[in-house]
Structure 1
Amino acid sequence: MWEPIAVPPGLVPPRPITVRAQTIPARGYFAEHAHRWHQIVYATSGVLTVAVEGRSFVISPEQAVWLPTGVRHRVGSLLGAQFRSLWVADEAGRDVAEHPTVFAVQPLLRALILEAVAIAGRESDDGYSGRVATLILDQFRRARPLPGALPWPREGPLVGLCEALYADPADARGPEEWGRELGLSARTLARRFETDMGMSLRSWRRRLRLFRVVELMGGGLSVTETAMQLGYGSTSAFVYAFRTELGSSPQAYIQEQVSGRPRQ
């Protein structure tokens, strides 16, 4: 069961940015709501589930979601996360993005967010906190919008399926086995997955594995350990699948995330 988290009382408009640091426990969530200001949804560790505009997806610490003023949304975490919420004044963030957008978070932007958290609530006679806020917004204006995060079901039996596969990407059960588990025919399950997620179960599972590469290797696992966790038969099979999908080896991709420099 998922447990709701209370929204902090006495919210006041940001000037121009207010930062909140909070731990979201496993299966904790903020019920659907909206703000009179923009919001940046980010986690320094763990994975967040974000539901907005009739769709649901998950983001890793290499991604953040920009939510424009007034957009209704729900945020939670399946396994727990260190949540960093940045509220941005309506006028200050007006030119960042008009619609909910997933952005890539490079090391400089991450460092600025962490600095904003560290100095939150402190008096700043020299205007330092304001300069940090300006740099954060500048970085979001320059950040690379991502075509999409990992889709996630909003409700129904697919939620349990996706949660199980996220917890154990090596689970090799296909539509027939999962259909029996969920009380659906294989054809019904496949059709519902295509309708709700916009892709087949096989394609989603491939996306899930690639999504978790960053989480696992970023947490210190080796290529071989990651391959085994994700259910690949060998390290070479994992490296080949990763290179086919993203055009580089896992090591090169992770290094790019750490350095912030794109591949040549």
Structure 2
Amino acid sequence: MNALLQWKAITAPPDVLSPSPMTMRVQSIGARNYFAAHTHEWHQVVYAVSGVLMVTAEGRSFAISPNQAAWVPSGTEHSVGSFLGAEYRSLWLADHPGGTLSKGGVAVFGVSALLKALLVEAATLQGNPDESGYFGRIYRLVLDQLCRASPISLVLAWPASAALRTLCETLYNQPADPRGPDDWGRELGMSGRTLARKFFAETGLTLRDWRRQLKLFRAIELLESGLDVTAIALELGYGSASSFIFAFRSAMKCSPMAYKRIRARDPAGAPGED
């Protein structure tokens, strides 16, 4: 288990320019690599076209999947990493887009199909800041999409301590793992009561509730990847497809396939994510 605790600090490419008015940073993040805590003068959209990112800001840590992004206002100390590796896209903006994102601090929001395409396109426009031409049109569309974005409630909290991060990394990779606080306490060298207390203090959730949230997070991720409902149920440790569908419907107010259809029509506004 100790190998899971080894993270490596990495740095941004040295040739990336500050946004004038927009810069897209493209970088592959290796498994258990991270950018140390830092601040900058511009706003940032944290996104990955593949892989899951871990973001720490404003005293909390959370995971975001490729159908989500994080809004980080200027001047906010934050760090970003990935325990499995990710294709990272960091959008820097000189201007605030307005809308709901302007009313608070760090926020996670759903990424629409249009915004996803715009982020991919923005990565091809480095060194061409013609605001009156194509670059400017892409930039204004990005701002329009961000202005329409709203924070979502389905955010997977992540603990701060190395031991509990090891636990969460393992469960993320093996969501069917049935071990509870006592078993994990023995694995990590503490009592089950201590582990339960520390886990709640760092995530705001019991291990049981966090595991339920994780399974929902992974279910959405696996639905996005095209896996069928039966395969997802087995991957997540449900006894049957029907028990998975019941759990999903209870949380999201629709079936997994209905969620997928709605998500295809409006990726930023799927049920249960507002």
Q: TM-score of the superposition, structure 1-length normalised?
A: 0.93
What SS does the aligned partner of 1:110 have? Answer: helix
Query: Who is 2:3 aligned against?
Result: none
The question of whether the paired residues in 2 share the 8 Å contact of 1:19 and 1:87 is answered with yes
Shift of 1:156: 3.2
The question of whether the paired residues in 2 share the 8 Å contact of 1:39 and 1:88 is answered with yes
Shift of 1:11: 4.8
Task: Kindly provide the CA deviation profile for residues 36-92 of structure 1, in whole angstroms up to 9, marking residues without a partner as x.
Answer: 111110111111000001110000111111111111111001111111100001xx1
Q: Give yes or no for the alignment of 1:53 onto 2:72.
A: no
C-alpha distance in structure 2 between counterparts of 1:240 and 1:120, whole Å: 47
What SS does the aligned partner of 1:42 have? Answer: strand
Amino acid at match of 2:164: L
The question of whether the paired residues in 1 share the 8 Å contact of 2:35 and 2:80 is answered with yes
CA change 1:25–1:152 in 2 (3 A) is same
RMSD: 1.8
Q: 2:47 aligns with which of 15, 38, 42?
A: 42
The question of whether the paired residues in 1 share the 8 Å contact of 2:46 and 2:90 is answered with yes
Task: Kindly provide the CA deviation profile for residues 178-219 of structure 1, in whole angstroms up to 9, marking residues without a partner as x.
Answer: 111111111111111111110100000000011011222211
Q: What are the ranges of 5 or more consecutive residues in structure 1 without an aligned counterpart? A: none
Query: Who is 1:64 aligned against?
Result: 69
C-alpha distance in structure 2 between counterparts of 1:5 and 1:121, whole Å: 24
C-alpha distance in structure 2 between counterparts of 1:154 and 1:8, whole Å: 27
Query: Who is 1:217 aligned against?
Result: 223
Q: Give yes or no for the alignment of 1:30 onto 2:24.
A: no
Q: 1:253 aligns with which of 235, 245, 259?
A: 259
Query: Who is 2:166 aligned against?
Result: 160
The question of whether the paired residues in 1 share the 8 Å contact of 2:224 and 2:260 is answered with yes
Query: Who is 1:196 aligned against?
Result: 202
Q: What pairs up with 1:79-228 in 2 under 5 angstroms?
A: 79-89=84-94, 92-93=95-96, 95=98, 96-97=101-102, 98-122=104-128, 127-147=133-153, 149-228=155-234
C-alpha distance in structure 2 between counterparts of 1:233 and 1:148, whole Å: 24
Q: 1:229 aligns with which of 212, 222, 235?
A: 235
Q: What are the ranges of 5 or more consecutive residues in structure 2 without an aligned counterpart? A: 1-5
What SS does the aligned partner of 1:13 have? Answer: coil
C-alpha distance in structure 1 between counterparts of 2:160 and 2:244, whole Å: 30
CA change 1:125–1:259 in 2 (3 A) is same
Q: 1:6 aligns with which of 11, 19, 32?
A: 11
Amino acid at match of 2:52: V
CA change 1:149–1:46 in 2 (3 A) is same
C-alpha distance in structure 2 between counterparts of 1:254 and 1:80, whole Å: 25
The question of whether the paired residues in 1 share the 8 Å contact of 2:131 and 2:137 is answered with no
The question of whether the paired residues in 1 share the 8 Å contact of 2:159 and 2:203 is answered with yes
The question of whether the paired residues in 2 share the 8 Å contact of 1:107 and 1:259 is answered with no
Shift of 1:148: 5.1
